[in-house]
């Protein structure tokens, strides 16, 4: 806690908070926290120093105090920014405010504090939900009232709103379709490797080799066979070709095979053989043992592999933009080509937020599954 709070305070005091740009491609002028926020910055630095001081506190209510202070700090950081942003931007001008490293480091430090201490205040559900709802409602209000409209990131979003939702939809579909296909292929392979020990290396080693192939190289390998496949009328109707959604979908599916297949194998190996022998002694046949014993007990480990594949694929789907497959990677590579950091962020931030939320949801489901099975 001392490290994170000191890091956040140092970022506030010594790094650039925002950059003012006359237009999208101009170099811009950086402002430190106090240069940009003025007297409003006193509130933020005071809260950072409070967190530094609390790190030495040994009382029993420390976890609650840290969680609530961090929640208030996050709200105050953006409240102070939206309060003064309009003073720098003339109405109907192309000027914009870009967020800089000092702010991102502060957000990272606050996120780490919140994620750590939210686990420690589980028994105080009301306080935890007050903090979470306070953050969500504050951001919702700021966005709904247009308080962030002068931020470069929001300007990029408003310009490309239709493309944003279309690419977000494509990104989600690629991720979901790839993981589902990976499950259909890898779970049976993992079970076969478990059932027939002589096939384990023959099945698992190729999956490991696929995982080591760089994405760009894999796209190149898929180019020729998918182009040939696209000449057939049925596949041409589906839009299969050497570029587009097809190579992205195939590559992402191949990358899901190892985490799902390996966890499936590990899950079945984790089933106690004494339970299986007892089931045989009760007269269960092979199919009943699989349905009622092996699969239920192995499923929590298999689900962990599915969760890993989901998180991995959300990030990996960015590369679909490189081969014309759409998704949020389209903004990332367009931003790189146009030297526009905020356009890059427009593609990256939804992926980061989706990854954090999906990981939390899937972990919660995983814990529930384990509880149901082992209870």
Report the residue count for the chain. Answer: 375
375 pLDDT band (50/70/90 cuts)? low
Where is average pLDDT lowest: 101-110, 187-196, 294-303, 337-346? 337-346
Token pair for residue 152?
A: 């470069």
CA distance 248 to 239: 13
- What was the pLDDT predicted at 80? 92
| pLDDT tens, position by position, 300-341 | 899 999 999 999 999 888 988 888 888 898 988 888 887 778
Question: If you average pLDDT over every residue of the chain, what do you get?
Answer: 87
Residue 176, pLDDT > 90, answer: yes
Rounded mean pLDDT, 164-192: 93
- What was the pLDDT predicted at 14? 93
**What is the pTM (predicted TM-score) of this model?**
0.83
* SS3 per residue for the chain: CHHHHHHHHHHHHHCEEEEEECCCCCCCEEEEHHHHHHHHHHHHHHHHHHHHHHCCCCCCCHHHHHHHHHHHHHHHHHHHHHHHHCCCCCCCCCCEEEECHHHHHHHHHHHHHHHHHHHHCCCCHHHHHHHHHHHHHHHHHHHHCCCCCCEHHHHHHHHCHHHHHHHHHHHHHHHHHHHHHHHHHHHHHHHHHHHCHHHHHHHHHHHHHHHHCCHHHHHHHHHHHHHHHCCCHHHHHHCCCCCCHHHHHHHHHHHHHHHHHHHHHHHHHCCCHHHHHHHHHCCCCHHHHHHHHHHHHHHHHHHHHHHHHHHHHHHHHHHHHHHCCCCCHHHHHHHHHCCCHHHHHHHHHHHHHHHHHHHHHHHHHHHHHHHHHHC
- What was the pLDDT predicted at 240? 80
Residue 91, pLDDT > 70, answer: no
- What was the pLDDT predicted at 54? 92
- What was the pLDDT predicted at 199? 86
105 pLDDT band (50/70/90 cuts)? very high
| pLDDT tens, position by position, 5-19 | 999 999 999 999 988
């Amino acid at each position: 806690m001392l490290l994170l709070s000191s890091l956040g305070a140092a970022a506030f005091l010594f790094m650039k908070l925002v950059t003012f740009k006359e237009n999208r491609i101009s170099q811009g002028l950086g402002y430190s926290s106090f240069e940009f926020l003025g007297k409003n910055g006193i509130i933020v630095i005071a809260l950072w120093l409070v967190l530094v001081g609390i790190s030495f506190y040994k009382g029993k209510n420390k976890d609650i105090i840290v969680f609530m202070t961090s929640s208030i700090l996050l709200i105050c950081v953006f409240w102070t920014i939206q309060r003064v942003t309009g003073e720098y931007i003339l109405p109907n001008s192309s000027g914009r405010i870009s967020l800089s490293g000092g702010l991102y480091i502060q957000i990272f430090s606050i996120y780490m504090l919140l994620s750590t201490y939210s686990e420690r205040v589980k028994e105080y559900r009301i306080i935890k939900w007050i903090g979470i709802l306070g953050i969500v409602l504050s951001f919702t209000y700021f966005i709904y009232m247009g308080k962030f409209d002068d931020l470069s990131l929001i300007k990029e979003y408003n310009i490309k709103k239709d493309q944003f939702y279309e690419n977000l939809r494509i990104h989600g579909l690629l991720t979901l379709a790839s993981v589902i296909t990976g499950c259909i292929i890898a779970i049976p392979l993992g079970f076969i490797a478990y059932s027939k020990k002589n096939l384990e290396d023959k099945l698992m080693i190729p999956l490991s080799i696929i995982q080591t192939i760089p994405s760009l190289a894999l796209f190149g390998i898929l180019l020729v066979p998918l182009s040939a496949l696209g000449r057939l009328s049925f596949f041409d109707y589906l839009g299969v070709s050497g570029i587009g959604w097809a190579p992205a979908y195939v590559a992402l599916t191949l990358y899901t095979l190892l985490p799902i297949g390996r966890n499936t194998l590990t899950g079945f190996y984790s089933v106690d053989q004494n339970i299986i022998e007892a089931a045989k002694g009760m007269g269960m046949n092979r199919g009943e043992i699989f349905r009622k014993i092996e699969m239920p007990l192995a499923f929590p480990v298999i689900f962990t592999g599915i969760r890993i594949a989901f998180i991995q694929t959300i990030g990996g789907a960015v590369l679909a933009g490189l081969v014309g497959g759409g998704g949020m990677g389209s903004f990332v590579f367009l931003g790189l080509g146009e030297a526009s950091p905020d356009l890059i962020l427009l593609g990256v931030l939804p992926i980061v937020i989706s990854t954090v939320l999906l990981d939390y949801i899937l972990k919660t489901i995983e814990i529930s599954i384990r509880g149901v099975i082992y209870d």
